[in-house]
Amino acid sequence: MDAVRGVGGEPGLELPSVEVATDEEALKAFLRPFQGILLPGGVDIEPSRYGEKPHPKLGPVDPGLDEGQLAVARLALRGDVPVLAICRGLQIMGVAAGAALVQDLPSDKPSDIRHDVKEPKHALAHEVIVAAGSRLARASESARFEVNSRHHQALKLGESDAELGPFRIVARAPDGIVEGMEIPDHPFIIAVQWHPENLFLVGDPQARALFRAFVEACRT
């Protein structure tokens, strides 16, 4: 919320109830006053949402949060409201588009790269490589930069996969983990696996540019 305010936006912290989330017309009415949607980080997504059984190292889940955010994500995929999705938010958008998740990176995809640097929250963990000419590269004003990383799950896609439903994969970590995706023909849907809100608060230029691009898209 501080990052949105920091670039001139007016955030509201709301989530539809389960009753609203399961009624499409009620959900449309709930979203109507807003000019944009930000899906933030949070707890793990229930594996049943993408057709898998729980991994032994699955973290806490919140079925009500899953229900509300997935309903919002599916509606957003069919509309034209700007969306910025962060960490769990990227995973929610991926599941809404038909993807499964790697439930525990350290055990399922061991890597020399740390993806779970919890403290300090703005600590730079690894580089991301963004597709040149992508909306994410334009919004971040850079195609190669360092990011923080605080997650143990990720989209389950092969290194050569360039698309997921309507999404195009536009950023990866050096070990191949998906770090960014977007829908090229949508007015503005960008999803990132890192936490730009933490980097924004320490003056990171790419994080500030990304939030500014999102709020400007909401105004438009």
Half-sphere exposure of 197 (CA within 13 A, CB side): 16
CA distance 132 to 117: 27
Name beta bridge partners: 89: none
Report yes or no: 210 and 6 within 8 Å, Cβ to Cβ.
Answer: no
195 is known as an active-site residue: yes
Residues in the chain: 220
Active site residue 218: no
| Residue that the structure tokens 């949060």 belong to | 65
What is the C-alpha to C-alpha distance for residues 145 and 126, in angstroms, rounded to an integer? 8
Cα–Cα distance, 59 to 44 (Å, whole number): 6
CA–CA separation, 98 and 40 (whole Å): 19
CA dist., res. 37 & res. 73, Å (int) = 9
Rounded Cα gap, residues 173 and 1, in angstroms: 26
Contact 162, 95 (CB under 8 A): no
Given the residues 46, 87, 115, 186, the one annotated as active site: 87
Which residues are catalytic, by number?
87, 195, 197
